């Protein structure tokens, strides 16, 4: 069975000023989210860290770790009766904010929690989160509902709240988490939460995995249970999302998923190496070494990509080029504030630069929304000049190492 791919880049939570790092999964209206990720991580890295959730701040924004010092709005003294369903939603949402799943990775909320001697967080701050405001904008309703929480406690003035149990120093949730694949792509977090309730399988957290390119739900999720025993019990039973579905859901323990992914990747690497060996004579014939002073290089490895948007980055360019099968980039040279880049292919790439350009041109593939870049091969004097610059950097680096110099920034060729 081929193990589905995990996408490590996830969508940002829908927050007001600051929403929780992960959205709640156990409440009826709350929505959780996955990754990690913003920077992109490999499946192996995700297996080690399980950090596939986005952080509190918006993309590229710095986290403000300074806790607000202004006086928080006072909570009215009266208490009201809250609709049981709404009260349950409020309690579940706030308990999730303070849970082991969310609090350690929510930098914004954690800054309040750790800065207070009693780990108290202002209730008005919690109530300002976007998902809380979807439930109610009335602070008295929030406080009245939270009085019935069995996991949280408020101060005497009912203005601040925290966990009843202290936050553990070490948290390992991987053993109580499963991976599930085959969920309808149109599903929302509420749909997933409802389905698990129908299965009589209460969950602690749902992390929906997203496509890397368009951030849409990819039909898979990590589901966290209260214990390893509950997670294993769920995996043992075969299930379909709808009874009339032809295929069963793919369900496995989270650690088993990453182990299978690693084995699949290693097998693919071996297969690619075998294919490279079969094509090696052809590659060597096409890329005969060219002498440049004391150095040699293989031709047709450099391609220039022009008319790029200023917002483009090296990873996007690499992904664009490597979208072709068995094409491997060694380095992307993208100067700052430049609309053109030079891509250097690895010598064992199955296709030469000219062949890559031909295929990309035929497909009219976009590198960014609405942008089809101009592609050309570096040849002749332009090609020699580029390689000479690389060799000069290598020679200087080797000379410096020979003199015993240490420190300084490493130059990447």
Q: What pLDDT, on a 0 to 100 scale, did the predictor assign at position 349?
A: 79
- Residue 163 and residue 238: Cα distance in Å, rounded? 36
CA distances from 253 to 205, 216, 231 (A): 15, 24, 7
- What per-residue string of b and e applies to 227-259 under the rule 16 or more CB within 10 Å gives b? eeebbeebbeeebebeeeeeeeebbbbbeebbe
pLDDT below 50 — which residues of the chain? 1-2, 4-17, 21-72, 281-287, 404-413
User: Is there a contact between 338 and 287 (Cβ–Cβ < 8 Å)?
Assistant: no
CATH dotted code for 289-402: 3.30.70.330
pTM of the model: 0.46
Q: What pLDDT, on a 0 to 100 scale, did the predictor assign at position 101?
A: 86
Q: What pLDDT, on a 0 to 100 scale, did the predictor assign at position 80?
A: 86
Q: What pLDDT, on a 0 to 100 scale, did the predictor assign at position 253?
A: 93
The CATH 3.30.70.330 domain(s) of the chain lie at 1-286, 289-402
CATH top class, domain 1-286: alpha beta
- Residue 98 and residue 22: Cα distance in Å, rounded? 11
pLDDT tens figures, 208-243: 999 887 889 999 999 999 889 999 999 999 999 998
User: Is there a contact between 359 and 327 (Cβ–Cβ < 8 Å)?
Assistant: no
Q: What is the 3-state secondary structure (H, E, C) of the chain?
A: CCCCCCCCCCCCCCCCCCCCCCCCCCCCCCCCCCCCCCCCCCHHHHHHHCCCCCCCCCCCCCCCCCCCCCCCCCCCCCCCCCCHHHHHHHHHHHHHHCCCCCHHHCHHHHHHHHHCCCCCEEHHHHHCCHHHHHHCCCHHHHHHHHCCCCCEEECCCCCEEEECCCCCCCCCCHHHEEEEECCCCCCCHHHHHHHHHHCCCCCCEEEEEECCCCCCEEEEEEEECCCHHHHHHHHCCCCCCCCCCCCCCEEEEHHHHHHHHHHHHHHHHHHHHHHHHHHHHHHHHHCCEEEECCEEEECCCEEEEECCCCCCCHHHHHHHHCCCCCCCEEEEECCCCCCCEEEEECCCCCCCHHHHHHHHHHHCCCCECCECCEEEECCHHHHHHHHHHHHHHHHHHHHHHHCCCCCCCCCCC
């Amino acid at each position: 069975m081929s193990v589905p791919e995990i996408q490590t880049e996830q969508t940002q939570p829908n927050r007001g000023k600051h929403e929780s790092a992960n959205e709640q999964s156990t409440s009826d209206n709350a929505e959780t989210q996955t990754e990690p990720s913003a920077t992109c991580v490999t499946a192996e890295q995700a297996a080690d860290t399980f950090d596939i959730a986005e952080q509190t701040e918006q993309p590229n924004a710095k986290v403000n770790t300074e806790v607000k010092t202004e006086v928080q709005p006072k909570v009215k003294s009266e208490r009201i009766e809250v609709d049981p369903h709404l009260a349950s939603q409020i309690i579940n949402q706030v308990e999730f904010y303070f849970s082991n799943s969310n609090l350690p990775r929510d930098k914004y909320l954690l800054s309040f929690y750790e800065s207070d001697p009693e780990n108290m967080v202002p209730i008005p701050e919690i109530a300002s989160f976007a998902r809380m405001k979807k439930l109610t904008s009335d602070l008295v309703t929030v406080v009245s509902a939270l009085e019935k929480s069995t996991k949280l406690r408020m101060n005497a003035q009912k203005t601040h709240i925290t966990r009843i149990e202290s936050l553990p120093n070490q948290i390992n949730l991987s053993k109580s988490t499963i991976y599930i694949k085959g969920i309808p792509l149109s599903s929302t977090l509420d749909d997933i939460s409802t389905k698990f309730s129908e299965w009589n399988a209460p969950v602690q957290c749902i992390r929906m995995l997203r496509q890397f390119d368009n951030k849409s739900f990819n039909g898979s999720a990590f589901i966290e249970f209260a214990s390893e025993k509950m997670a294993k019990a769920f995996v043992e039973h075969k299930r379909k999302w709808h009874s009339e579905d032809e295929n069963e859901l793919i369900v496995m323990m989270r650690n088993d998923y990453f182990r299978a992914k690693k084995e699949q990747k290693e097998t693919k690497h071996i297969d690619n190496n075998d294919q490279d060996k079969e094509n090696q004579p052809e590659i060597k014939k096409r890329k005969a070494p060219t002498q440049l002073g004391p150095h040699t290089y293989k031709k047709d490895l450099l391609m220039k990509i022009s008319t790029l948007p200023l917002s483009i980055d090296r990873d996007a360019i690499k992904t664009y080029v490597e979208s072709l099968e068995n094409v491997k980039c060694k380095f992307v040279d993208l100067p700052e504030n430049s609309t053109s880049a030079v891509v250097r292919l690895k010598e064992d790439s199955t296709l030469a630069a000219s062949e890559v350009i031909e295929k990309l041109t035929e497909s009219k593939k976009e590198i960014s929304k609405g942008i089809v870049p101009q592609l050309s091969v570096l040849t002749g004097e332009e090609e020699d000049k580029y390689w000479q610059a690389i060799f000069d950097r290598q020679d200087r680096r080797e000379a410096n190492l020979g003199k015993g110099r240490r420190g300084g920034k490493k130059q990447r060729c």
